[in-house]
Amino acid sequence: MVTREQVLEALSGVADPEIGRPITELDMVRDVQIHKGVVTVEMLLTVPGCPLKDRITRDVTAALMPLEGVREVKVVLGTMSEEQRRALVTRLRSGQAREEERPIAFWGEGTRTKAILVASGKGGVGKSSVTSNLAVAIARLGFKVGVVDCDVWGFSIPRMMGAAGRPVVVDHMVLPLEAHGVKVMSMGFFVPDESPVIWRGPMLHKAVQQFLTDVFWGEMDYVLADLPPGTGDVSISIAQFLPGAEMLVVTTPQEAAQKVAARAGRMTEQVNLKMLGVVENMSYFVCPDCGSRHHIFGSGGGRELADALGTELLGEIPIDVGLREGADEGTPVVVGDPDSPAARAILDIARGIVAKGAPSLVGKRLPVLGPASVS
């Protein structure tokens, strides 16, 4: 007959789909009973009506059924008490209670997360589509990736990533949504699509702070921040929160876009950021009939911008209908059509970023932030 120890060992391989840690480590397994081949597992969910309770039930069942002597698995679901939730959040935040000042967990001393701030000088150059596709491409290379949608006014990451719903909040700790293997947080999860966000500087600063400190990101290899165009309040705030982060500037080939993008790139010289490189979007159109390239928006803008900023041109992404369709449908082109010219270009850029190796800890510090919460 299967033993309790064997059951618990098998359950240690089942991770909570939102937090990403074993359910045994999170004290979600309240009790295990075994009787004549029937294993009954009493589980404690973090919140009532957990949207992923069916997935947890399936994962527990799948982990236990292969054990010798198990003929049936019953999963009984309950809910954590306030005290249990508080203890869980404190443990996840490395012992820091929510009333205390909290740092950004993935950006503290000793962490090796690479933060990439995706910026542009003006809107309409495809910055958000580059962010979403690049995040998914890096995740498909085997890394843990998160996206912070810092464009509080003009959020578009939820639609482009196909992430919908409202994040679960456990004792003021927000669990990010996940799409295509990437964790995502955006203002779009908290307000309807058609509702404008009419906030001034201090409110924007607070929102960005909450996305970084109140969200449980867990262990991240790469965190991409989709910045609003230009060098306004949000860009300044994110530079304060993530000192030493790297900036990736998106531009189009035309001179007008390149000149404006240079201003965003030069921001790094004044706010303790590093330049990662330049990505030229809408570089050319490949004729589907003859295969020839047509430079509809001119050529050379990305290379000139990289030279002006003293960095490298990471890649050129062609105009691709699939890129636009994927953004509208919530399926990034690197997933929906990975063999398309645009997807191949983005995957090459992702490989180039990953090939640079682990990020340096030089310049990182532990920001001093006040308490915050998302409600």
User: Quick one: 253 and 298 in the same domain?
Assistant: yes
How many CA atoms lie less than 13 Å away from 131 in the CB half-sphere? Answer: 34
Using the Cα atoms of residue 224, residue 229, residue 233 and residue 239 in order, give the sign of their dihedral.
positive
Q: Which residues contact 106 (CB under 8 A, 6 or more apart)?
A: 113, 115, 146, 217, 219, 220, 223
Length of the chain: 375
Q: What is the pLDDT of residue 161?
A: 94
Q: What is the pLDDT of residue 128?
A: 93
User: Quick one: 67 and 147 in the same domain?
Assistant: no
Taking residues 72-76, what's their average pLDDT?
Answer: 94
Domain total in the chain: 2
Whether residue 33 is contained in a domain is answered as yes
Q: What is the pLDDT of residue 276?
A: 93
What does DSSP assign to residue 221? S
**Assigned token pair, 286:** 């490949």
- 328-345 confidence digits (pLDDT tens): 999 999 999 999 999 999
User: Quick one: 262 and 298 in the same domain?
Assistant: yes
Q: Do 74 and 37 meet the contact criterion of CB atoms below 8 Å apart?
A: no
User: Quick one: 57 and 149 in the same domain?
Assistant: no
Whether residue 368 is contained in a domain is answered as no
Taking residues 342-350, what's their average pLDDT?
Answer: 95
- 158-198 confidence digits (pLDDT tens): 999 999 888 888 777 888 999 999 999 988 888 766 666 65
User: Quick one: 260 and 134 in the same domain?
Assistant: yes
Name the pLDDT band for 200 (thresholds 50, 70, 90): low
Q: Where are the alpha helices (DSSP H) in the chain?
A: 4-11, 53-64, 82-92, 127-140, 157-161, 201-213, 233-241, 255-266, 301-309, 321-329, 333-336, 341-355
Q: What is the pLDDT of residue 242?
A: 86
Whether residue 209 is contained in a domain is answered as yes
Sheet order of strands, 72-79 included: 29-35, 38-45, 72-79
Domain span at residue 15? 4-80
User: Quick one: 74 and 114 in the same domain?
Assistant: no
Q: What is the pLDDT of residue 221?
A: 93
- Tokens 């920001």 belong to residue: 367
Whether residue 345 is contained in a domain is answered as yes
The predicted model scores a pTM of: 0.73
User: Quick one: 131 and 211 in the same domain?
Assistant: yes
Q: Which amino acid, residue 310?
A: G
User: Quick one: 53 and 130 in the same domain?
Assistant: no
User: Quick one: 71 and 184 in the same domain?
Assistant: no
User: Quick one: 129 and 28 in the same domain?
Assistant: no
Q: What is the pLDDT of residue 315?
A: 94
Does residue 355 or residue 359 have the better pLDDT? 355
- 38-67 confidence digits (pLDDT tens): 999 999 988 777 777 888 999 999 999 999
**Chain-centroid distance, C-alpha 15:** 19
Q: Do 247 and 276 meet the contact criterion of CB atoms below 8 Å apart?
A: yes
Phi and psi angles of residue 264, each rounded to the nearest 5 degrees, phi first: -65, -40
How many whole angstroms separate alpha carbon 199 and alpha carbon 208?
12
Q: Which amino acid, residue 21?
A: R
How many whole angstroms separate alpha carbon 165 and alpha carbon 242?
27
User: Quick one: 167 and 289 in the same domain?
Assistant: yes
Domain of residue 342, CATH code: 3.40.50.300
- Tokens 């000793």 belong to residue: 110
**Assigned token pair, 231:** 């060098």
Mean model confidence pLDDT for the chain? 83
Domain of residue 48, CATH code: 3.30.300.130
How many whole angstroms separate alpha carbon 218 and alpha carbon 91?
12
- The b-or-e profile of 196-224 (16+ CB within 10 A means b, else e) is ebeeeeeebbebbbbbbbbbbbbebbbbb
Helix, coil or strand: residue 39: strand
**Assigned token pair, 212:** 């970084």
Whether residue 250 is contained in a domain is answered as yes
Whether residue 92 is contained in a domain is answered as no
- 211-270 confidence digits (pLDDT tens): 888 888 888 999 999 988 876 677 788 888 888 889 999 998 887 677 677 777 777 777
User: Quick one: 135 and 278 in the same domain?
Assistant: yes
Whether residue 112 is contained in a domain is answered as yes
Pairing of strands 222-226, 145-149: parallel
Taking residues 107-112, what's their average pLDDT?
Answer: 74
Start-to-end CA distance of the chain, whole Å, equals: 48
Whether residue 32 is contained in a domain is answered as yes
